Structure 1
Amino acid sequence: MEFSKIISVSGKPGLFQVVSQSKNAIIVESLVDQKRLAVNSTQNVSLLENIAIYTYEEDVPLLEVFKAISEKTEGAKAISHKESGKKLASFFAEVLPNYDDERVYTSNIKKVIQWFNLLIETGFDFSKIESVSEESEK
C-alpha cells in the first residue's frame, strides 16, 4: 500500500486506496472492509500526502506527523480519537510541539489520530517509509 494513493472522501467514513481511474470517476477500495466504490468528480477528495498541519514555522506534511506519532507510540495505535479534547491536544503537543493551536482545531487532531490508528490497523508501517525516503534523497 502506497501512502501516495490513500485518500479521504468527504461524506464517507474511513480512508480509501485509489485502485483505478475511469473517465468520470475514481475507483477506490476502503481500507476498513475492502469494498470498492466509484467516486465521481463532484465528490470532494483529499490525497493524504497533500495535507499538512499548521505550525508556527512552516506547514508539516501529514506523513511527517504520522511518523512522529509512530515513533512516540513505537508503531502501535495511538490514543483513541474519542478521548477528551484536552487529552487529544496534549498528546498532539507531545508529537508536534510547535503546532499552531489557533489554526489546528480539536476536530483536526481527532481526524489525524483516527486516520493514524486506521492505517496502523491495516498494517501500515511508517518506519519503512522513513527509510525509503532517506534512500531516495541519496
Structure 2
Amino acid sequence: MSLDKILAIAGKPGLYELKTQTRSGFLAESLIDGKRLSVSIRHNVSVLSEIAIYTFTEEVPLREIFKKIYEKENGEQAINHKESKNKLEAYFSEVLPDYDEDRVYPSDMKKVIQWYNILQSKGMTDFSEPEAKEKPSDEEE
C-alpha cells in the first residue's frame, strides 16, 4: 500500500488508512486498533505522501526518510518515539544529517519515528515512489 492512502488526523493518535469517501468526508480505519472513524471535511488531515521534512537545501519527502530509517534498521523497528530529546536528535541526525534544526522540532521527529514504527509493524514498508501513469505520446496516436 502506498503512502497516498495513509493519513494523519490532527487530534487523533496514530495513523489511519483511507477506506472510502462519504458525502460529508470519508471513512478511515486506524492502523493501531482497526477501529473505523468517520472524518468530516472540517478535520485537519494530512496525507503522508504529501509531507516533507526541511533540510538546509530542500524539502525531503517523508517516504525518503522512511526509506533511510528502513535501511538503517535493516527493516526492523526504529528507536522508541518516547526517547529523550537528545536521543531523538542524535538518531534523526544519523538518518537525515542536514535536517534544519530551526524548522524541524523534536515533536516532528517523534511523529516521524512513531509513524515509521506503526507502518513497519503492519508490514507496510514499501516506501518507493508510486508508478506514474504513462500518457500516450503524440507519435502513438
User: What per-residue deviation string (whole Å, max 9, x for no partner) do you get for residues 17-39 of structure 1?
Assistant: 00000111110011111111110
State the 4+ residue runs in structure 1 displaced beyond 4 angstroms: none
Give distance in 2, aligned partners of 1:2 and 1:29: 15
Deviation at 1:125, TM superposition (A): 1.9
Give distance in 2, aligned partners of 1:3 and 1:15: 11
Give distance in 2, aligned partners of 1:66 and 1:134: 14
Match of 2:138 in 1: none
Give distance in 2, aligned partners of 1:87 and 1:55: 19
Match of 1:91 in 2: 91
Match of 2:118 in 1: 118
Match of 2:139 in 1: none
Match of 2:8 in 1: 8
Match of 1:36 in 2: 36
Residues 110, 134 of structure 1: alpha-carbon distance in 2 compared, 3 angstrom cutoff = closer
In structure 1, give the amino acid aligned to 2:51: I
Percentage of matched positions with identical amino acids: 50
User: What per-residue deviation string (whole Å, max 9, x for no partner) do you get for residues 36-64 of structure 1?
Assistant: 11100111100011110000000000010
Question: Aligned residue pairs: how many?
Answer: 133
3-state SS of paired residue (1:17) = strand
In structure 1, give the amino acid aligned to 2:49: E
Gaps of 5+ in 1: none
Output the TM-score relative to the length of structure 2.
0.89
Deviation at 1:2, TM superposition (A): 2.5
In structure 1, give the amino acid aligned to 2:2: E
How is 1:51-130 mapped onto 2 (pairs within 5 angstroms)?
51-126=51-126, 129-130=127-128
Give distance in 1, aligned partners of 2:125 and 2:9: 22
In structure 1, give the amino acid aligned to 2:121: E
Give distance in 2, aligned partners of 1:78 and 1:9: 22
Gaps of 5+ in 2: 133-141
More helix by share: 1
| Bigger CA radius of gyration | 2
Cα RMSD after superposing both structures: 1.6
Give distance in 2, aligned partners of 1:103 and 1:42: 26
Output the TM-score relative to the length of structure 1.
0.91
Match of 2:136 in 1: none
